[in-house]
Amino acid sequence: MLPKAWVWLKRYNEAKARLVIGLISGTSADGIDAALVKIVGKKPDRVETIAFTTLPYPKEIRETVLSVSQNGDTETLCWLNFALGELFAEAALEVGKLAQVSMKRISLIGSHGQTVRHLPPQFKTKRKFPCLLKTGSTLQITSPAVIAARTGVPVVSDFRSKDMALGGQGAPLVPLVDWLLLCHPKRNRVALNIGGIANLTVLPVKAKPNEIFAFDTGPGNMLIDGFVKFFSQGKMTFDKNGEWASKGKVNDELLIWLMSHPFILQKPPKSTGRETFGESFLGKVLKRASKFQLSEFELVATLTAFTAESIAYAIKNFVLPKIVKVDELIVSGGGSNNPTLMKMLSQKLNTEILRSDEFGINADSKEAVAFAVLAHRTVVGLIGNLPSATGATSPTILGSITLP
């Protein structure tokens, strides 16, 4: 008799369609995105989003995630790993309830978890460590064992580590899913996701996997959110509808200084996170801005312009030299809901800007959907990374499987 694990694996691979949940909390650390999708075929051939929800983090959890990401102690990190496991499991149960689908019908959960530290190979740290590590390092917490135990569903997690072990950045990983869902036979497309960090995937006409390239462009919503929270004394956590930015005038001198940041000028492949554009950098920006005596609206407007300008810079300097023309810029993520940011971006690029919703991919759920697809590819034995995007020495199957 085959062990239960082998029976499950055999059934999963033989199925024509499966229900899979994708879970992620991004660099903004404001909550858990949960997407329930129907995956048809092995590659897969079709991905259909059935339900999507976001479970906001309780205030204490969000503050702990942000503090641990900066300089947390091991006891807090240990506690948070299991606490997030409970919350991610709750998000999975909630999206199933929303779709009126029993957990017994769910075949798999893909959990990206919560990144608390991401140190790609080129990251320069002030700390001195023995020179044993030849790669970068990364840490996503959220106990998959807790998720599996609470839901009764197998969980794929730890997606970034294998790519980084092979010399890659460990990110971005969504590009493979962008290629599967958005590559077009006649149009050059760029898929842009604006979360805490902004990243893009370049999809040339009829591109093969090794022709895709992708990278982080710099901050997305991270700096904007940080300053709105600071000026509102915690009453607001983001610039709703870009209202603050729309009331302020961009300070050109501060914008020039922001655009001189080494990461913006660095050539791909590259990835970044809160380590570069988090609380420490917020302090530097506030100190620099004080000499201009800017209002909160002017500063948020300038930071919004920085996000738009850094994305435009990346497209003009790293994308256009390779594909000549971008026919469609397909935007997703929280930043796509900021009309002021979208207007600034449109003014800087002579390109048609479209929301991913127009292609059947909810702009808010895209990354959660992506990790459902990546989890599926892990179980069926297909690669999950694109070395042309991450810089890894070879393509590889990603993630670890935890059975209930």
Range of the domain at 91: 12-171+365-402
Segment 81-100 mean pLDDT: 98
CA separation (Å) from 178 to 16, 374, 394? 22, 11, 19
372 SS3 class: helix
Judge whether 329 lies within some domain: yes
- Backbone φ, ψ for residue 175 (5° rounding): -50, -35
Question: Which among 269, 339, 349 has a CA at the least distance from the CA of 312?
Answer: 349
| pLDDT the model gives residue 131 | 60
Question: pLDDT, tens digit, for every residue of 154-211?
Answer: 999 999 999 999 999 998 999 999 999 999 999 999 999 999 999 999 999 999 998 9
Same domain, 116 and 205: no
Is the full-model pTM beyond 0.85?
Answer: yes
Question: pLDDT, tens digit, for every residue of 2-43?
Answer: 578 888 999 999 999 999 999 999 888 889 999 999 999 999
Distance CA 51, CA 55 (A): 13
Distance CA 106, CA 109 (A): 8
CA separation (Å) from 251 to 102, 175, 380? 53, 34, 51
The C-alpha R_g of the chain, in whole angstroms, comes to 20
* pLDDT confidence band for 351 (50 / 70 / 90): confident
Q: Are 337 and 70 in contact (CB under 8 A)?
A: no
Judge whether 372 lies within some domain: yes
* pLDDT confidence band for 1 (50 / 70 / 90): very low
Same domain, 166 and 180: no
Same domain, 202 and 160: no
Same domain, 162 and 232: no
Same domain, 214 and 335: yes
User: Within 319-363, where are the H helices?
Assistant: 320-323, 339-348
CA separation (Å) from 4 to 20, 155, 157, 218? 19, 15, 20, 45
Judge whether 4 lies within some domain: no
Residue 399 φ/ψ region, left for φ over 0, alpha for ψ in the -120 to 50 degree band, beta for the rest: left
**CA angle 206-212-218, nearest 5°?**
135
Distance CA 25, CA 259 (A): 27
* pLDDT confidence band for 242 (50 / 70 / 90): very high
User: Within 144-278, where are the H helices?
Assistant: 144-151, 160-165, 175-182, 222-231, 243-247, 252-259, 262-265, 274-277
User: Within 249-295, where are the H helices?
Assistant: 252-259, 262-265, 274-277, 279-289
Judge whether 67 lies within some domain: yes
Same domain, 118 and 232: no
Distance CA 242, CA 349 (A): 19
Same domain, 110 and 47: yes
Least confident of 125-134, 227-236, 368-377, 380-389: 125-134
Judge whether 27 lies within some domain: yes
Q: How many folded domains does the chain comprise?
A: 2
Question: Which among 57, 8, 28 has a CA at the least distance from the CA of 239?
Answer: 28
| pLDDT the model gives residue 15 | 95
Same domain, 37 and 136: yes
Judge whether 141 lies within some domain: yes
CATH code where residue 321 lies: 3.30.420.40
**How many CB atoms are closer than 10 A to CB 314?**
23
Average of per-residue pLDDT values in the chain: 93
Identify the top-confidence range among 62-66, 72-76, 93-97, 120-124.
93-97
Same domain, 201 and 339: yes
Provide the residue type at 250 as one letter.
V
